[in-house]
Amino acid sequence: MRIFYLKTTCLVMIIGALLSANVLARESTVAKKTDRQEESVRKGRVSDSDGPLGGVSIKIVGTKRGVVTDANGMFTIKAAANQTLMVSYLGYVTQEIPVHNETLFEITLVPDAAALDEVVVVGYGTQKKVNLTGAVAAISSEELTTRQAPNTTSLLQGRAPGVQITQNSGQPGAENANIQIRGMGTFSGAGNNPLILIDGVEGNLNNLNPNVIENISVLKDAASASIYGSRAANGVILVTTKSGRAGRLNIDYSYNYSRQKATSMYDRVTNSVQFMELLNKAINHTGTSSNQLYSDEQIEAYRQGSSIDPDRYPNYDWMDAVFRTAPMQQHFLSVNGGQDGTTYNFGLGYLSQEGMLIATGYKRYDAQLNFKTNLGGRVTFGTNISLSKGGRYETALNGNFDGNTTEDQILSALAANPTFKPKLPDGSGRYASKAYIFESGNKNPIAIAENGGKTTDNYYALASSYINVDILPGLKGELKGAVRYQDGQSKVHVVGIPAYLYQPDENGEYIYNTQYNGTVGENNLTVRGERELQLTYYLNFNYTKSFDNVHNISALLGYNQETFKYDRLQGFRRNAPTDNLTELDAYSSAGQIAEGQAYEWAIKSLYGRLNYNYKERYLFEANFRYDGTSRLPTGRRWGFFPSASIGWRLSEESFLKGSEWVNNLKIRFSWGQLGNQNIGNYPYQAILSPVEYNIGGALQQGMSLEDLNNTNLKWETTTATNIGLDFDLFKSSVFGSVDWYTKRTTDILRTLQVPDFIGLNGPTVNRGEMKNSGLEVLLGYQNRLNALNYKIQANFETYKNELVKFGAREIDNGSGLIRQEGLPYNSYFMYVFDGIYQTQEEIANGPTPISALTKPGDMRYKDISGPGGVPDGKIDANDRTVVDGAFPDFNYGLTFSADYKNFDFSFFVQGVEGRKIYVREWGIAPFRQSSPPPKFWLNAWDGPGTSNTIPHIFNENYAPNTQVSTWWLQDASYLRIKNIQVGYTLPNQLVNKIGFQRLRIYLSGDNLFTFTKFFDGGDPERLAANSRMAIYPQAKIYTMGIKAIL
The Cα diameter of the chain in Å comes to 110
The pLDDT of residue 704: 80
| Contacts (Cβ under 8 Å, ≥6 apart) of 402 | none
**CA angle 499-503-504, nearest 5°?**
90
CA distance 808 to 753: 8
The pLDDT of residue 101: 87
Average pLDDT over residues 747-769: 81
Residue of 825, 802, 814, 1032 whose CA lies nearest to 918: 814
Give yes or no for a contact between 914 and 855, defined as CB atoms under 8 angstroms apart. no
Average pLDDT over residues 256-265: 92
Q: What's the one-letter identity of residue 309?
A: D
For 523-574, write each residue's pLDDT tens digit: 889 999 999 999 999 999 999 999 988 999 999 999 999 999 999 999 999 8
CB atoms within 10 A of CB 47: 16
Lowest mean pLDDT among 69-83, 351-365, 771-785, 845-859: 69-83
CA distance 886 to 880: 16
CB atoms within 10 A of CB 709: 16
Residue 848 above 60 pLDDT?
yes
For 440-497, write each residue's pLDDT tens digit: 877 899 998 998 899 999 999 999 999 999 999 999 999 999 999 999 999 999 888 8
Give yes or no for a contact between 615 and 601, defined as CB atoms under 8 angstroms apart. no
Half-sphere exposure of 67 (CA within 13 A, CB side): 16
Residue of 555, 561, 507, 512 whose CA lies nearest to 538: 561
State the pTM of this model: 0.85
Residue of 344, 342, 347, 346 whose CA lies nearest to 371: 344
Residue of 106, 104, 121, 96 whose CA lies nearest to 40: 104
For 989-1025, write each residue's pLDDT tens digit: 788 888 888 899 999 999 999 999 888 777 888 766 5
For 7-62, write each residue's pLDDT tens digit: 333 333 333 333 333 333 333 333 333 344 678 899 999 988 777 888 788 888 87
Give the three-class secondary structure for 34.
helix
**CA angle 750-918-910, nearest 5°?**
95
φ/ψ bin of 162: left (φ > 0), alpha (ψ from -120 to 50), beta (otherwise):
left
CA distance 820 to 837: 33
| Contacts (Cβ under 8 Å, ≥6 apart) of 177 | 151, 153, 154, 157, 165, 166, 167, 168, 206
CA distance 131 to 133: 6
For 881-931, write each residue's pLDDT tens digit: 999 998 999 999 999 999 988 899 999 999 999 999 898 877 788 988 888
